[in-house]
Every structure is written in C-alpha cells, then in structure tokens.
Amino acid sequence: MLLCSFSLEASEKVSAKQRSELAEIKLKFAFINKFIEYIDKGWQEAYKDNIIIIDIIGEVDKEKAVLLKNFERNRIKNLPVKIRVNSDIDDLINSDIIYVTNGSKHKIEQILQKCKKAVLSVGDIKYFIDQGGVIEFYNYRGRVRFDIDDNKAKEKGIFFNAKLLELSEVGQ
C-alpha cells in the first residue's frame, strides 16, 4: 500500500513539473511576441514573405511540441505564423526567429552561422548571447528574465525600442 501511494505521489509531482514547464513555454512565447512589437525599425526582411517563420531547435517533448504548434494561431505584426519544431539546420536560412533550447547547446555556433542576417535568435541556454545570440532567457528567483545583446541585434538590422531595453539586462 505504501508503494502505491508513493508511486502516485511521484507521478503527481511529474505532472505538476510538466504543467510548470508548459506554463513557462507559454510565457516565453508571449515574451517573443512582445519583443517583435518593440522592434522600432529594421527587420523588414521578415515581412517580405508575408509570413513569420519560427524554428525551434533542441529538446522538445510531445506536449511542448503540441503547445508550440498552437502558437501558429497567433499573428505577429498582422502576419501569420509558421512554427517548425526541430527543423534541419539547413532550413534555418528561411527563418525569421529561431528559438534554441538546452538540447542544442553544443550546436549554437553552427545554428547561428546558418541564419540569415536579420534573424532574431532567442535561447534558453546559459551564455547564449555570449555565443552570438540576440536574446537569452534565464530564471532568477523563480521568474523568467531576459538579456538582450543590443549590439548584436543592431548588427542584424534589428533595432529595439528603448522601453524594452530598459526591462532587460542589456549586454554590450
């Protein structure tokens, strides 16, 4: 009886953890949507195809993949969104936004080299902006925070509004 009780308790913890991870993914994609709204100028290359393509690279389980695909219902800057989960690195040339998760930390340099100039790169990996990414998510005291490498963004032709930069830790 004790074993059954322990087993049920452990599975409840896992599902609570999964719920927490899914809520965090939702929050991060809400952030990404807002980041786009705070681009003052540049990034016109993303609009030329009349669709925003977001590639997610890294560890994505089935539940997260379904949740991420649901973001295709959203529009960014009044354009439809196409989400590709675990895309081939060679397909990144068509990306507007790449979201790199922990499972790809050993491929960051290769991933970023394949991206076109104006791609917005967002990562969950520690030191992502130090390796050439534009935005890095991290957790601090139980909250999702983000750093922006404004210089790297400008190199890519992306100019963020000062209000957004005030909310982040801006890398120089």
Three-class secondary structure assignment of 16-74: HHHHHHHHHHHHHHHHHHHHHHCEEEECHHHHCCCCEEEEEECCCCHHHHHHHHHHHHC
Position 122 in a domain:
yes
Position 7 in a domain:
no
pLDDT in tens, 28-50: 988 998 898 888 876 666 667 78
Position 2 in a domain:
no
The enclosing domain of 72 has a CATH number of 3.40.50.2300
Domain span at 86:
15-171
Position 3 in a domain:
no
Position 149 in a domain:
yes
- Domains in the chain, number: 1
First to last CA, the chain: 58
- What pTM, to 2 d.p., does this model score? 0.83
Position 153 in a domain:
yes
Each of the 172 residues of the chain gets a pLDDT tens digit; together they read 434 433 334 444 447 877 888 888 889 988 998 898 888 876 666 667 788 889 888 877 777 777 787 788 888 888 899 988 877 787 788 888 999 988 777 788 888 887 767 889 999 999 999 999 999 999 999 899 999 999 999 998 899 999 999 888 765 4
Cα four-point dihedral sign 27, 28, 32, 34 = positive
pLDDT in tens, 158-171: 999 999 998 887 65
Position 97 in a domain:
yes
Position 61 in a domain:
yes
Give the residue from 54, 93, 96 showing the smallest Cα distance to 72.
54
